[in-house]
Chain A
């Protein structure tokens, strides 16, 4: 087994143990109803985390995603209110916009050899500002096509609802897994995260890969914006503040190395679900304040980073002892 798969197993183990604890206290937790809600409530986060995983794997970071989600919601709501365009048309325009936005950030990062942190921080303010410019009020979306999207679901055995956006998230993860692990582009992303100079000598097209990575993250942010607007039925420029950090947390809890080069897309899914699980537990308990979610996530992050360090050390020692 490889040292870099260990964190993935740890993530899965933590998730299962967490679930078991919840289930012992609240047997209902295992119902498809809860599972359906878990997927629905975390759909936008999951989608944006797919993009974030790829960015972090490449050795970068994307702080703009929360703002782009908010911008997307406002953009959709305003365009639908003020024009006669069909929502699908609006979606298409939006996705092109956010993808180009991400690509532009990627281009700057590569061309100016600027830290991704700075460029996407600027991107974060810019997108948030653009959202404010469009509207500072929450804008409701009333298009009847939207109603049908919101209420689209499949009934699972046990009366759980598998919503459209929940499915969308799972499909996104499936696509993300294929891109990360089954394409040359994915291999280039891992290579860049492993060491830029070496990757370049091995034939990675660094510029192209960087632009594509951030473009993909932009696309995912746009998708997440659409999903979020379906989820809330409105667009609001103050929404999803700090979502970028939640997404980063999900990626790290999912076992991806923050410095890049190691991790799994599937781990991020588990990371997102683990965070959702904590939230669900707090809702079930009823007496805990929702801040506990943050506290537990904070603790989990800390534990996880320590665990990762420890495990990596341990396995290195074992490999060193066992090899040659």
Chain B
């Protein structure tokens, strides 16, 4: 056994995050670590790498007991890690990020030339040819994630840990990362893989360990499992998940609510026309960088449109800033919640109330009892796993933070809500809950624009799907025509382009 964990226990104030968990990793296997949001996956990883201290339990690596007190020690032991949602440091260059802590050089002085060469060589494995002297922050989230993976891989002599590494990657990028992982497996490394994409789990992994509420549930060969059984292990119940796979009922054409004419932003997305009906769900599909998020940002005034106009039944709308868009009844739950979404040091209640309060104006505070009611309501409806509404939101698990961001926008009850990758990092059970909620909202007349890389998700919620390529809206699929295959074809350029 390469790595084995026995009776690992970790308690946070109010939460037993890990309760006597066992875990075994063989050399030359990819081992999935699965569980609902808040099950304790990330905590297990952080205890393993010394980012958290553990309350009890032992870890042995190659037969010797280890207890790293810092992530450096774990790195020195040959454990490389991609932490959930940690995409390295935006203010350092790509090369500095890749080689941080083992910069090449002599006499304690770093050689920039050697660094550049090493960094380039590392990235070449992933088919990336970047200017490694540029700040990491100037690259997209996807590229940053690949760089984080490249860094972890190069640090992992024995064990590689990937905590939701594929969250913001597209299919081609995922394949590339998987190729690298497989070649590491070939070389005898042990790889721990955390993901909510069950397809990827079946595709890549050899064994699966499931956690539930901080407790060990089971370890099985991936090949011996099917989807339904796996989900049962994770949730502890069977999931009514038709909602995840079926099309919403065709409700025919909707009365027009909003219309955008020649809307676009120079350098970000070419002018497009868009009509949104009352209670309609419009999906945006396309590869990363195709102009999906850019379209959304223009609509919400985050990066305001440089041309075109927006209208509703009453007349023209001013969407030149988010504040104005909110005043016009718009809402936007962004893709990158770490930087754009949550305020880590505030409580869950405060984070949920934030948008509502901002719209009312700070001079008219919402009564505390009312705040509590709203917060509790959404915690229950979205199944946010927490010890209470006053918990610091930064201490929630990644998926539960995402749910809280959603709750904030839902609480504002906008008439037009833009959701950018709403279910990223959210477990299957909660995924279904959220889709139910979407259907409910839509039935009440709210319109939605949903951006997603997961075609299944679009098919499951959208009345209509718009496909983007190269910053242009190139195709529109309606009703029966909406299917994963058709969307894929359009993205690839076989249709409508």
**Residues of chain A contacted by B267 (CB below 8 angstroms):** 320-322
Residue B71 interfacial (CB < 8 Å):
yes
Q: Which residue of B lies closest to A262 (CB)?
A: B91
| Contact A198 to B86, CB < 8 A, known contacts A183-B109, A187-B110, A261-B91 | yes
Residue A184 interfacial (CB < 8 Å):
yes
For chain B, the count of residues having a C-beta within 8 Å of the partner chain is: 36
Residue B103 interfacial (CB < 8 Å):
yes
Interface residues of B in 462-493 (CB under 8 A from A): none
Cβ-neighbour of B83 out of A184, A201, A261, A262 (below 8 A): A201
* Separation of A91 and B288 alpha carbons in the complex (Å): 60
Interface residues of A in 194-240 (CB under 8 A from B): 194-195, 198-205
Interface residues of A in 266-324 (CB under 8 A from B): 317, 319-324
Q: How large is the interface on A (under 10, 10 to 19, 20 to 34, 35 or more residues)?
A: 20 to 34
Judging by beta carbons under 8 Å apart, are B139 and A191 in contact?
Answer: no
Residue A17 interfacial (CB < 8 Å):
no
| Contact A198 to B88, CB < 8 A, known contacts A322-B267, A323-B140, A324-B288 | yes
Question: Chain B interface mostly helix, strand, loop or mixed?
Answer: loop
Residue A33 interfacial (CB < 8 Å):
no
Residue B135 interfacial (CB < 8 Å):
yes
Residue B289 interfacial (CB < 8 Å):
yes
Q: How many whole Å from B90's CB to the nearest CB in chain A?
A: 7
**Residues of chain B contacted by A21 (CB below 8 angstroms):** none
Indicate with 1 or 0, residue by residue over A178-190, a CB within 8 angstroms of chain B CB atoms: 1000111001001
Judging by beta carbons under 8 Å apart, are B110 and A193 in contact?
Answer: no
Q: Which residue of B lies closest to A191 (CB)?
A: B89
Judging by beta carbons under 8 Å apart, are B71 and A2 in contact?
Answer: no
**Residues of chain B contacted by A323 (CB below 8 angstroms):** 138-140
* Separation of A261 and B97 alpha carbons in the complex (Å): 13
Judging by beta carbons under 8 Å apart, are A190 and B140 in contact?
Answer: no
* Separation of A149 and B86 alpha carbons in the complex (Å): 53
**Residues of chain A contacted by B110 (CB below 8 angstroms):** 182-184, 187
Judging by beta carbons under 8 Å apart, are A187 and B109 in contact?
Answer: no
| Contact A201 to B86, CB < 8 A, known contacts A182-B109, A187-B110 | yes
Judging by beta carbons under 8 Å apart, are A2 and B51 in contact?
Answer: no
Interface residues of B in 71-92 (CB under 8 A from A): 71-72, 75, 81, 83, 86, 88-92
**Residues of chain B contacted by A320 (CB below 8 angstroms):** 267-268, 303
**Residues of chain A contacted by B89 (CB below 8 angstroms):** 190-191, 194-195, 198-199, 202, 261
**Residues of chain B contacted by A191 (CB below 8 angstroms):** 89, 92, 100
Judging by beta carbons under 8 Å apart, are A324 and B140 in contact?
Answer: yes
* Separation of A97 and B289 alpha carbons in the complex (Å): 56
Judging by beta carbons under 8 Å apart, are B72 and A203 in contact?
Answer: yes
**Residues of chain B contacted by A178 (CB below 8 angstroms):** 109
| Contact A203 to B268, CB < 8 A, known contacts A184-B110, A193-B91, A194-B91 | no
Residue B439 interfacial (CB < 8 Å):
no
**Residues of chain A contacted by B92 (CB below 8 angstroms):** 187, 190-191, 194
Q: How many whole Å from A52's CB to the nearest CB in chain B?
A: 19
Q: Which residue of B lies closest to A199 (CB)?
A: B89
**Residues of chain B contacted by A184 (CB below 8 angstroms):** 101, 103, 108, 110
Q: Which residue of A lies closest to B109 (CB)?
A: A182
* Separation of A321 and B265 alpha carbons in the complex (Å): 9
Q: How many whole Å from B50's CB to the nearest CB in chain A?
A: 10
Q: Which residue of A lies closest to B100 (CB)?
A: A202
Q: How many whole Å from A4's CB to the nearest CB in chain B?
A: 6
Residue A108 interfacial (CB < 8 Å):
no
A contacts, CB < 8 Å to B? 2-4, 178, 182-184, 187, 190-191, 193-195, 198-205, 261-262, 317, 319-324
B contacts, CB < 8 Å to A? 51, 70-72, 75, 81, 83, 86, 88-93, 96-97, 100-101, 103, 105, 108-110, 133-135, 137-140, 266-268, 288-289, 303
Write 17 A-B pairs (CB below 8 A) sorted by A numbering.
Answer: A2-B135, A4-B135, A183-B110, A187-B103, A190-B92, A190-B96, A191-B89, A193-B91, A194-B90, A194-B91, A198-B88, A198-B89, A200-B51, A202-B89, A203-B72, A323-B140, A324-B289
